[in-house]
Every structure is written in C-alpha cells, then in structure tokens.
Structure 1
Amino acid sequence: MFARFLVLIAGLSLFVGCNSDTKPSSSVVSEVGTSGDAGPVVGSTPADPKEAVAAIEAVTKKVRRDSAGFIIDVDFRDLVISDSDLIPLTELKRLRAVRLGGTAVTDEALKTIGQLSNLEDLDLRECGISDDGLAALSQLNKLKALRLSGKSGACTVSDDGMVHVAKLKNLKVLAIDYLWVSEDGVNAFLGLDNLQELYMAETTIGNESVELFAKFPNLKKLRLARNQIDATGVANLPKIQLLEELDLSECAQLFDDAMGPLAELKNLKKLNLWRVNISDVGVEPLKELTGLEYLNLDNTRLSDEGTPYLSGMKNLTFLHLGSTQITDDGLASLEGLSKLADLKVTRTAVTQERVDQLGKILPDTKIQLEYIEGQ
C-alpha cells in the first residue's frame, strides 16, 4: 500500500489543478469525541497535503474534517490494511482521532502513530499489539482516549504494558477489556488523575482492585463485567464517589449479599447486572438508587415480589427485565415510570394483553415482548 502512496504522489503532480467531488462519509462517534468543531469542507481543495489525503482516501472514505478542511479523524476499523498504510497520517497536522479496531496492524504501526503529536483518541481494539509496542505511544501528551481489547486473542498487552500507559497523563478514557491485566497493572497507572472512564471486562483483577479504583479522583464510568469480584470487592465501590455508570454483568461471584453497598452510590445513573445471580432480596437495596436512568436486570431471578422496589426509580428511561420470573402482575409497579422510553420483558410470563394495557398508561414507552437475537 505504501507503494501505492508513492504512485499517487507521482500521478497527482500532473493534476495539481484538479478537484475531487468525493465527499468523505462520517465516522461513528466514539464514547468520548475529539475536541474542536467539525464541519463541512470549506472550498474544494483539501487543506492537508493532497498526496497524503489521496493515499488515505484510497484506503478509507471514513474521514472527518474541521471547518477549515483539515482532516481530524480517520477510521480504518475492520478494513484490510498494513502498517505502511498509516505513514501518510504523519502529514495530517490536525489529526486528533485514529480508529484501527479490528485491523491487522502491529507494533510497527505504533511507531507511526507515536509521531501524531496532536492525537487525542486512539482505538486499537483487537489489533496485534504487544507490551513493547505501547512504548512508542508514550510521547502522545494530548491523548485522551486509548482503547485496547484482547477478546480475539490478537492483542497480548498485559500488566507489563501498563507502565507505558501510565505516561499518558491526559488520559480520560482507558479500555483494556479481555487483557491479562491485574492489580499490578492498575497500580502502574494510578497516577492518571484525569481518568474518567475505565473499562476492564474479563481481566485478571480481583477484590483488591476496587480499592485502587477509588484512588482515581475523577472516575465516573467503570466496567468490571466477567471478573472474579465478590461481596468484599463490591463493599468498596461506594468509595468511588463520582461513579455514574457501573457494569457488573456476568460477575459469577456476586449474589444477593453483595448488593447492599450499591445503595450508597447516590450519583449512579446506569447499572448493568445482566446475568448476575440475584433475587428479589438482592434487588431490594437498589430501591435507594432513585437517580438511575438505565437498569439491566436481564437474566436475574427477579419476580413479581421484587418489582415494587423499582417503582421509585422515576428517572428510568431504560429497563431490561427479560428472562426473569415476572408475570403480568409485576408490571403494575412500573405504571408510574413515565420517563421510560424502552422496556424489555422478553422471555417472561408477561402476556401481549398486559403489554397493550401498560402501553396505554405509558404511551411514550416502547415495550418489547418478543425476543430478538442480539437485543
């Protein structure tokens, strides 16, 4: 592909006055966007070097520009690319986001990425990246979001790589799901005081990690799905005083006795307890979380006796009660949840007749009764 880049340089030199009618498509918005205003291209000539732009657009059309026409966001996700395809990115002086999730780039590509001094958002999920490769990113002083994932097995980052992550002092978002990262790794990046979002699904952390998370003064979002955390670990969650979103889904060591401390998370807006083995007894403490906007109790043992504990959650906009033991009788407790936009009661004993009745009481609520794969 780099050879194609050189060919394009030669070709474009013969057509300096030519304009392209191709409009770049918008990339998918990330969890935390890049700073600055993005808008339509001003004029017909790209502000960045034409050769670099042509080489990039030969690989992907998913680019975003700012109001002056400079490329600020390039999305390569799930494309067939090589490390050398990233070399033209070094010519884009205002580039702030690069999305490489699901590509075959390696540590060699990170040497190029490490030269992008204005980079703020980097997605390397499911890429063939190692601990040593992360060293090339340590000078990205403006980086605010770094996303890694080892679900596919391609990424081999572990505790050893966290010493390089620790140098990224402006990080606000760190995703290290499905990686061999333990408390040792978390200890390594404890100095990231700006961190607001931490995603660590299916890592090797245990109860000790929760006390460490409390040392991030600005932490608001935490994903601990599929980890070996039990009631002892949950007991320390209230120490994370600003926590707004918490994902404990599929934590196999959590039972009713672990739910009590969650009632102390007064700032919590989003709680995911999918496939957590709790009953009505475990749901009862959650009644204190009146600020919740999102609650997932899918695949729990909630029954009609437990739904009254949800009746005071007047701010709920999303509620998943699928694969629980509720029946038509249990829906009576939900009739006062006027802000509900999405209610799921799939794979339950709830009937269509009762759904229709509730729909008249909550006309703005989408009620899903039929199970659809992936929802």
Structure 2
Amino acid sequence: MRALSLAGLLFLFLGAGCGSDKSSSNQAQTPPVGDSAAKVKKVVSDDEATVSALKDLGAVFKRGGDGRITEVSLRGASLKDADLAALESLSNLQSVLLNDTGVTDKGLETLGKISSLRNLDLRGCGITNDGLVHLAGLVSLRALRLSGKNNATQIDDDGMPHIGKLVGLKALLLDFLFVSEVGLAELKELKQLQELYLAGTLAGDEAAGVLKQFPDLRKVRLSQTQVGDAGLEQLRGVETLVELDVSENSLISDAGMVHLGGMKNLKKLNLWRVQISDVGLEPLGKLQNLAWLNLDNTLTTDVGLPALSGLLKLEFLHLGSTSITDEGLVHLAGLKSLKDLKVTRTNVSEAGVTTLQKKLPETKIQLKYIAGDEG
C-alpha cells in the first residue's frame, strides 16, 4: 500500500513537471497577442486606379518615405473641377499645385475636404471670393498661393475674412489681387504668418502699417504698389523683417531710405527701379546683416559706393544699369564675402573688372548683360 502511494505520487510529480515544461515552452515560442499587434504595421498604399487617372491628366508626383503620394502637381493641365475628386483618396496628400488650370469655386469644394493639405497653389485659377469659404476647414494649411496676374482670379478685400480663418498659415501670396489695407486688417488672426506677398496690389502706406499686426512676419513683397516713404516708416516697426522687396515703387525716394537704414535685421533688400540716388545709399550702410542687395536701375554713381564698403556680409550685389565706372569699383574691394556682383550696362570696363577680380578672386563678376537678369 505504501509502495503504491509512493508510485502514485511519483506519477503525479512527473505529470505536473511535463505539463509545466510544455507551458513554459509555449510561452517562449508564442509572444503575447498585445506584443504581436504592436509589432505589425498596417501598410497603406494609394489606390492604383486613382494614381493612373491622375497620371492621365498629366500629374507629377512626390512621395513620402512610405511610398505614398505627398504632392500632386497639375500645373497648366487641362482639367475640370470633377477631376479633383481623385485627390480625396490619397491618404497622405499634403501639397496640391493647380496654377493656371481651369479650377473654379466648384473645385474648391473638393479641396476643402482634404484635411491633410499643408500647401495649396491656386495662382491663375478662375476662383472668386465665394469659393474661399470652402477652404475654411483646412486647419493644417501652412501656405496658400493666389495671384491675379492673368486676370482669371477674382479675389479682393471681400475674400480676406475667409482667408483670415486659416490661422495656421505661414505663407500667403496675394500678388496682383485687388487687396488693400481694408482686406489685410481681416487677416489679424494669422499670428503665425511669416511670409506675405503683395506685389501689384492696392497696398499703400496705410497697408504697410497694418503689417505690424503679424508678430512673426519675416518676408514681405510690396513691389509695384503705392507704398512710399511714409509706408517705409511704418515698416520700420516690423522688427522681425529679414527680407523686403519694394522694387518698382515710384513713390519711394532718398528720404525713405532713412527708415530702411533703421531695419537692422534685414538680410535681403530689393530696390530695383526705385529712383534713389547716392544720398539714399548712405543710410543703407547701417544694414550690417545685409547679404543680398539689388540696386539695378537706380541713380547710383561712384559717389555712393563708399556707403556700401562696410557691408561685409554682402554676398549678392546688383549694380546693373547704373552710372558707376571703374573708379568706383575700388570701394567694393573689401567685400570679401561677395559671391555674385553684377555690373552690366554700366560704364565699367573689362579692365576694371580684371582689376577688381584680383582683389575678389572668389567673386563671380558679370559685365555682359543677359536678358532676364533684372529684378
């Protein structure tokens, strides 16, 4: 009896041991369900039929690291508003370029549903103020590009309240639209705006003052506008500015340069076709951070060049279509950071360029005019 009991106990012990080993082995070979799920990534790809349809329209794509399309360019393509429906199925679409296409307000309804959009280019499209209401839900949008240069886009001050709801915008292009200080005031909630382009708009001195409402504004284009010396005084209050384009503004004179001279953070300044003289260059000598300066088609002569000799960070300088001569080039010899110097259509000779080149061996000096170099 005792022997039987011992045998029974031994059987139970061995049975339990085998069961324990089996359980341990299973645990080692089969990971918990939770861990397994965490390691498996669901791969999402773009619909092939959609991609094919967009290609047929002439689309050019950019893709992210996972292979999904992030940008669709249909610039200049012949398309209808209905064709944009294909964009909705692209799960990681961030940028759409539709400049100079037949897109209208109806197409904006579709675009307004693509919540992942960060960049939207609608320059030259036949859209109106009413169509902009469809974009109000694009909370991720960081750049919106509009332009009325070809007269197809009919957007003015009345459309600005809709754009003012896109509070995530960092870059806004409104070139050649009928936008004034009235419309710009409607953009006051765009506190993240860093770039604003207003070439050929109704912007004047008052509009320049409105720009103070953007606390992080860095780049501004006000070329071909009614901004004058008083407007430059207003812009001086925008202390964050690093790039300013006031080219082709007939109301700006030497007096306005005093205000520009106080904008110490400026790195890029475009004064093409602004009628300033040597007197106006003197205040610009205070812009010690300036790396890019365009004085093409100004009234600059040799007399004004000493004012530029202290701009030691200057990398680009355009002095084309001015009255400078070989004698004035001596004042540029100390600009060791200069990479590109243009002296086209001036009284500078090849001999003058050769002499300066010895002082600035790393600088590309252009004497011969090439069409398209203006501005």
Contact 1:46 1:69 in 2 (8 A): no
Instruction: Summarize deviations over 1:268-311 as a string: whole Å, max 9, x none.
Output: 00000000010000111000001101000000000001011111
Pick aligned residue for 1:90 from 80, 88, 91: 88
1:331 partnered with 2:329: yes
In structure 2, what is the equivalent of residue 18 of structure 1?
none
Number of matched pairs: 331
For 1:350 and 1:240, how far apart are their aligned partners in 2?
A: 37
Contact 1:228 1:251 in 2 (8 A): yes
For 1:132 and 1:60, how far apart are their aligned partners in 2?
A: 28
Instruction: Summarize deviations over 1:99-138 as a string: whole Å, max 9, x none.
Output: 1112221111111111110000001111111101111111
In structure 1, what is the equivalent of residue 238 of structure 2?
240
In structure 2, what is the equivalent of residue 314 of structure 1?
312
Q: Which moved more, 1:278-287 or 1:329-338?
A: 329-338
Instruction: Summarize deviations over 1:65-84 as a string: whole Å, max 9, x none.
Output: 00101100111112222222
Amino acid at match of 1:84: A
In structure 2, what is the equivalent of residue 100 of structure 1?
98
1:79 partnered with 2:77: yes
Instruction: Summarize deviations over 1:171-205 as a string: whole Å, max 9, x none.
Output: 00000000000111001111100000000011112
Amino acid at match of 1:123: D
For 2:51 and 2:59, how far apart are their aligned partners in 1?
A: 10
Contact 1:321 1:346 in 2 (8 A): yes
Larger radius of gyration: 2
User: Gaps (5+ residues) in structure 2?
Assistant: 1-42
For 1:60 and 1:68, how far apart are their aligned partners in 2?
A: 23
Pick aligned residue for 2:347 from 349, 357, 360: 349
For 2:364 and 2:148, how far apart are their aligned partners in 1?
A: 35
For 1:162 and 1:229, how far apart are their aligned partners in 2?
A: 20
In structure 1, what is the equivalent of residue 133 of structure 2?
135
Pick aligned residue for 1:211 from 209, 225, 244: 209
In structure 2, what is the equivalent of residue 358 of structure 1?
356
For 2:290 and 2:111, how far apart are their aligned partners in 1?
A: 39
Q: Provide the aligned C-alpha RMSD in A.
A: 1.2
The CA deviation at 1:61 is 4.6
1:290 partnered with 2:276: no
1:156 partnered with 2:154: yes
> Could you tell me the TM-score, scaled by structure 2's length?
0.86
Amino acid at match of 1:363: P
In structure 1, what is the equivalent of residue 39 of structure 2?
none
For 1:267 and 1:254, how far apart are their aligned partners in 2?
A: 21
For 1:315 and 1:181, how far apart are their aligned partners in 2?
A: 36
Amino acid at match of 1:243: L
> Could you tell me the TM-score, scaled by structure 1's length?
0.86
In structure 2, what is the equivalent of residue 35 of structure 1?
none
Q: Secondary structure at the match of 1:117?
A: coil
The CA deviation at 1:265 is 0.8
The CA deviation at 1:60 is 2.8
In structure 2, what is the equivalent of residue 180 of structure 1?
178
For 2:192 and 2:164, how far apart are their aligned partners in 1?
A: 12
In structure 2, what is the equivalent of residue 25 of structure 1?
none
Q: Note the 1:5-84 alignment, pairs <5 A.
A: 47-84=45-82
Q: Which moved more, 1:70-79 or 1:141-150?
A: 70-79
